[in-house]
């Protein structure tokens, strides 16, 4: 059954399914699943889901070398992860962003993004941390800092293989060897000789030993296949530079056969064209060498792979110089210099855009915090009585189940007091509704003086109040009711209005097994009316 069908059977397509499809080389379905997940997340206003879907899209675009689009998408993903305070997700997005920036010639910015991603990955599982080191290595390599790149790749490999992730270690191993191939190229260009072939051979041997120890690895596909092809091409460069053109050609032919099936990253195809040019150069087949270097240059430009564009220009200049065509070689170098100047201008523009991105991210976070605070305020208003500031019946209904549960756990029965103002209608009629409102506010203040942490004072409505006591058992409740009545009787009501007197009737009831709010309140209400009738009879 197809990956997409499995996803739809178990759940709606998700970013996780997209990541699995990409890992297994199913690019078309990876994109389909990621786009579906993005649509669902945006419709649901799910910031985390949107960020994860955007990251999946950016990673898929990297596989097909759509670097400019991948850069924009990874940057959006990083912003959303940052808004959601998902450090690990942000680190993954920054790693992808670092790769795209470096490929497109903005190595300094790529290293910055990779270093930030590495910091955010601190404490993450080995695969995530290794990925950050892997992309940091790429950023350093594309920027020409080969020593730092070598260290980063070695750290990624160490993390993965120590934790038993042999298959995943193939990628940083391939990137490390590709970095050394690039270093050899620049050694030849600037020093006139290969100075790192020994390191390239050492990495090949280490990779061979690791491959032999991976007894559980049965199938290589997707991104792992690309890594294997890249390592094979690196073997081809080593063989070519050592003079074994037959072995070098065999590696080219194998990579070409895989590319013909349409399953290889265009960036790997660029390396194949580079190796073809090197083989033709070693064979002094100048027209063929120039042909392959030209194809490499055009292909690299078409996907904005500036690292390979630079190598293609320098390779062309070397080929022309080797034939004594110095004027044509200098023209290639001038073209490279012009393109590098254009890249610097573009980098400055992108820095300005990233500042705007950061400012927008700050503004979005501030807006999100304000909305969250506003939502909390609205929720609080929905749970409060606006006149007295006490909780309302809605809040009481929410907290009573938890109160009953905790009472059962402690082996105690919490008590509830039902408080009703005596003759409240007469107070309104004689002294005005405004005075009546003040009476209710003063009574709320009195009830607050009786509560401790965990107790809940509530205005049910009108002149009816409830206090749920978490630490008062039913046996002690009558004494508490009397104290409430005494406090109300002793309050200086004449300060509210001359001649004003206020009294309350209080009914109490403890919680019983199986109680809910309705029957508990009903017993309290009955107790209050019994108490009210008793007081009335005593006054007669």
Report yes or no on 358 lying in a domain: no
Residue 6: what pLDDT? 43
Report yes or no on 134 lying in a domain: no
* CA atoms of 296 and 44, how far apart (whole Å): 45
Q: Which residue has the tokens 């690299």?
A: 300
Burial 377-390 (b: 16+ CB within 10 A, else e): eeeeeebbbeebeb
Indicate the residue among 21, 56, 85 that finishes a domain.
Answer: 85
Residue 29: what pLDDT? 76
Indicate the residue among 56, 85, 114 that finishes a domain.
Answer: 85
Strands across the sheet containing 456-461: 456-461, 464-469, 415-421, 504-510
Residue 352: what pLDDT? 67
CATH of residue 73: 1.25.40
How is residue 390 annotated by DSSP?
Answer: S
Report yes or no on 265 lying in a domain: no
Using CA atoms, how far residue 157 sits from 163, 297, 497, in Å, is: 10, 31, 83
Q: What is the dihedral of CA 219, 222, 223, 226, to 10 degrees?
A: 80
Residue 217: what pLDDT? 34
∠ CA 288-309-177, nearest 5°, is 85
**Contact of 78 with 93, CB cutoff 8 Å:** yes
Report yes or no on 450 lying in a domain: yes
CATH of residue 432: 3.30.70.270
Report yes or no on 99 lying in a domain: no
Classify strands 504-510 and 415-421 as parallel, antiparallel or unpaired.
Answer: antiparallel
Question: Which run of H or of E encompasses 218?
Answer: none
* CA atoms of 64 and 47, how far apart (whole Å): 26
**Total-model pTM:** 0.64
Indicate the residue among 85, 100, 121 that finishes a domain.
Answer: 85
Report yes or no on 154 lying in a domain: no
Question: Which run of H or of E encompasses 506?
Answer: strand 504-510
Report yes or no on 440 lying in a domain: yes
Burial of 422 from C-beta contacts in 10 A (0-12 / 13-18 / 19+) = middle
Report yes or no on 499 lying in a domain: yes
Quickly count helices (H) and strands (E) in the chain: 22, 4
Which residue ranges of the chain lie beneath pLDDT 70?
Answer: 1-15, 21-27, 208-223, 262-264, 347, 350-355, 357-359, 361-368, 371-382, 407-412, 472-474, 535-540
Residue 209: what pLDDT? 53
* CA atoms of 113 and 95, how far apart (whole Å): 7
The residue range of the domain holding 51 is 1-85
The overall longest dimension of the chain from CA atoms, in Å, is 127
Tokens of 227: 């890594």
Give the number of domains in the chain.
2
């Amino acid at each position: 059954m197809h990956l997409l069908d499995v996803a739809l059977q178990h759940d709606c397509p998700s970013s996780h399914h997209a990541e699995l499809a990409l890992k297994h080389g199913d690019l078309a379905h990876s994109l389909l699943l990621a786009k579906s997940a993005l649509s669902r997340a945006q419709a649901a206003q799910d910031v985390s889901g949107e960020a994860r879907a955007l990251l999946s899209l950016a990673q898929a675009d990297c596989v097909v070398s759509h670097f400019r689009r991948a850069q924009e998408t990874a940057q959006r993903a990083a912003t959303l992860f940052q808004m959601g305070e998902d450090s690990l997700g942000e680190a993954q997005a920054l790693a992808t962003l670092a790769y795209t920036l470096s490929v497109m010639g903005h190595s300094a910015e790529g290293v910055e993004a990779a270093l930030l991603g590495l910091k955010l990955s601190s404490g993450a599982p080995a695969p995530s941390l290794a990925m950050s080191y892997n992309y940091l290595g790429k950023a350093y390599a594309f920027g020409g800092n080969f020593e730092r790149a070598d260290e980063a790749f070695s750290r990624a490999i160490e993390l993965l293989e120590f934790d038993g992730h042999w298959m995943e270690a193939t990628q940083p191993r391939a990137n490390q060897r590709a970095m050394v191939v690039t270093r050899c190229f620049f050694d030849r260009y600037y020093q006139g000789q290969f100075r790192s072939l020994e390191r390239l051979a050492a990495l090949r041997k280490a990779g061979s030993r690791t491959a032999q120890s991976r007894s559980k690895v049965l199938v290589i596909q997707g991104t792992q296949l690309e890594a294997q092809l890249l390592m094979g091409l690196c073997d081809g460069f080593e063989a070519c530079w050592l003079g074994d053109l037959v072995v070098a050609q065999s590696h080219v032919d194998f990579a070409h056969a895989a590319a013909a099936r349409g399953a290889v990253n265009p960036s790997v195809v660029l390396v194949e064209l580079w190796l073809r040019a090197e083989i033709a150069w070693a064979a002094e087949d100048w027209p063929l060498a120039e042909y392959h270097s030209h194809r490499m240059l055009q292909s690299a430009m078409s996907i904005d792979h500036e690292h390979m564009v630079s190598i293609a220009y320098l390779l062309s200049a070397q080929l022309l110089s080797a034939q004594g065509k110095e004027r044509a070689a200098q023209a290639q170098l001038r073209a490279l210099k012009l393109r590098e100047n254009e890249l610097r201008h573009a980098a400055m523009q992108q820095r300005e855009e990233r500042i705007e991105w950061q400012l927008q991210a700050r503004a979005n976070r501030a807006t999100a915090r304000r909305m969250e605070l506003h939502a909390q305020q609205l929720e609080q208003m929905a749970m409060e009585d606006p006149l007295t500031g006490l909780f309302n019946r809605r809040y009481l209904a929410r907290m009573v189940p938890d109160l009953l549960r905790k009472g059962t756990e402690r082996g105690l029965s919490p008590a509830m007091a039902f408080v009703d103002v005596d003759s409240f209608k007469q107070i309104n009629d004689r002294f005005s509704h405004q005075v009546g409102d003040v009476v209710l506010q003063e009574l709320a203040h009195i009830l607050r003086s009786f509560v401790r942490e965990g107790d809940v004072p509530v205005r049910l409505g009108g002149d009816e109040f409830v206090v749920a006591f978490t630490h008062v058992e039913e046996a002690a409740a009558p004494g508490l009711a009397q104290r409430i009545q005494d406090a109300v009787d002793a309050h200086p009501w004449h300060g509210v209005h001359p001649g004003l007197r206020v009294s309350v009737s209080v009914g109490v009831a403890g919680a019983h097994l199986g109680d809910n709010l309705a029957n508990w309140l009903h017993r309290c209400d009955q107790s209050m009316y019994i108490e009210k009738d008793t007081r009335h009879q005593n006054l007669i």
